[in-house]
Amino acid sequence: MQILPFRTTEEVLQRANASKYGLAAAVFTRDLDKAMHTVRRLRAGTVWVNCYDTFDASIPFGGYKCSGFGRELGEYGLSNYTEIKSVSLFHK
């Protein structure tokens, strides 16, 4: 984890989103509104708030931009390993 000083939330968002990668990010704050505003604007596949590197098998994990090859874990992760087929059948 990298921790950098900043003056404004906008500065943080510009710096974080300028990367060609977007696997994960973390936001540490006591202000829940500010946290959710930041989470919505971060271009990262996983964002932790007031924690870091926690996983649950039911929650998809994967990156944005040049990070990763889709999602792992959870229902979305399983769909990466399946091939959906639709069949329409009329039988008398």
Residue with the larger pLDDT of the pair 55 and 9? 9
CB 63 within 8 A of CB 45: yes
19-70 pLDDT, tens digit per residue, is 999 989 999 999 999 999 999 999 998 999 999 988 887 777 787 888 876 7
Q: What is the pLDDT of residue 76?
A: 66
CB 69 within 8 A of CB 45: no
Domains in the chain, CATH or no CATH each: 9-79 (3.40.309.10)
Task: Flag whether pLDDT at 83 surpasses 90.
Answer: no
Task: Flag whether pLDDT at 85 surpasses 70.
Answer: no
Specify the pTM: 0.73
Task: Flag whether pLDDT at 77 surpasses 80.
Answer: no
